[in-house]
């Protein structure tokens, strides 16, 4: 009787796409990463486009398809590994991901789920600073808006307070659509000029002008200056209190 030695054939992406022992999501990620690499994208660019960490991109770029895409269920929550990593990388909070797990029928305590997610965060290099409490709908909406040109709120603050750069188009659009920004920019410039010149009359004129501003934030600011006028006068006159304003003006 002849015995035939079993020969193990290494599977490739095309062999296992629909095989129940392999993760469809991992397989798709594997193919997407390979396609982007072949098209000349850097690992950083692929990480941003596919909402995964650069460690994940490197692992899939250099690893074996079968080893990466075979399903290995060590616990109930492991079955949701792909969903969890994708959701966390897209900006969903751990609380929202936990709710998704519960809705998917995963019976796991909140503490265990958070411990599991913390390990994934560390292992996949996910930036927790981007976390916000967001519903899946909100995450999808943020993704939809990514294709539009936009200016961040910190960018506007830097432009107003520190003279940060804005394109002429952005500047024209913001000043036209949000008139308060134009008045705020003038207010900041005039306020700095008071300290730069140490000019008390300019301070009093500034307070009177902005006390009647139609924008409540500016009128409250002017009223606050008037309420503490003695301290403000000392700040204008003294070299000890206006260093930050003068430094920012110089910049």
Residues 54-82 pLDDT 10s: 888 888 888 877 777 765 545 667 778 87
- In the chain, what is the greatest distance between 2 CA atoms, to the nearest angstrom? 111
Rounded to whole angstroms, the Cα distance separating 75 from 134 reads 26
Mean pLDDT confidence for 90-105:
84
Mean pLDDT confidence for 204-230:
90
With cut-offs at 50, 70 and 90, classify the pLDDT of residue 223: very high
Quote the pLDDT of residue 77: 77
Cβ-based neighbours of 162, under 8 Å, separated by 6 or more: 248, 251
With cut-offs at 50, 70 and 90, classify the pLDDT of residue 171: confident
Mean pLDDT confidence for 226-238:
88
pLDDT digits (tens, 9 = 90+) for 111-161: 888 888 888 888 777 766 544 555 566 656 665 655 555 667 777 777 787
Closest CA to 27 of 35, 37, 36, 16: 16
Residue 208: other Cβ atoms inside 10 A: 11
Residue 251: both structure tokens together: 């910049």
- 177 against 194, higher pLDDT: 194
- Of the ranges 23-37, 94-108, 145-159, 230-244, which one carries the lowest mean pLDDT score? 145-159
Closest CA to 68 of 11, 6, 123, 125: 11
Given a cut of 80, whether residue 189 has pLDDT beyond it is yes
The pTM is what?
0.36
Residue in the structure block whose two tokens are 């929202």: 96
User: How far is Cα of residue 164 from the mean position of the Cα atoms in its chain?
Assistant: 20
The 8 Å CB, 24+ separation contacts for 161-167 are 161/188, 161/248, 162/248, 162/251, 163/251
User: Which residues are bridge partners to 220 per DSSP?
Assistant: none
């Amino acid at each position: 009787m002849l015995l035939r030695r079993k020969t193990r054939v290494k599977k490739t992406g095309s062999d296992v796409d629909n095989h129940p022992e392999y993760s469809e999501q991992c397989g798709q990620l594997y193919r997407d990463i390979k396609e982007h690499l072949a098209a000349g994208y850097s690992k950083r660019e692929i990480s941003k486009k596919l909402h995964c960490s650069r460690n994940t991109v490197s692992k899939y770029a250099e690893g074996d398809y079968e080893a990466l895409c075979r399903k290995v269920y060590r616990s109930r929550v492991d079955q949701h590994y792909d969903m969890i990593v994708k959701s966390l990388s897209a900006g969903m909070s751990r609380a929202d991901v936990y709710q998704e797990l519960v809705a998917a029928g995963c019976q796991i305590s909140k503490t265990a789920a958070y411990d599991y997610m913390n390990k994934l965060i560390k292992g996949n290099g996910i930036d927790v600073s981007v976390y916000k409490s967001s519903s899946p709908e909100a995450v999808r909406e943020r993704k939809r808006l990514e294709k539009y040109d936009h200016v961040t709120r910190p960018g506007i603050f830097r432009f107003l307070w520190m003279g940060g750069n804005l394109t002429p188009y952005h500047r024209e659009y913001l000043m036209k659509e949000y008139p308060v920004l134009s008045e705020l920019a003038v207010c900041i410039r005039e306020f700095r000029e008071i300290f730069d010149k140490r000019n008390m009359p300019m301070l009093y004129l500034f307070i009177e002008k902005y006390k009647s501003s139609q924008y409540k934030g500016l009128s409250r600011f002017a009223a606050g200056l008037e309420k503490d006028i003695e301290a403000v006068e000392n700040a204008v006159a003294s070299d000890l209190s206006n260093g930050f304003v003068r430094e920012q003006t110089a910049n």
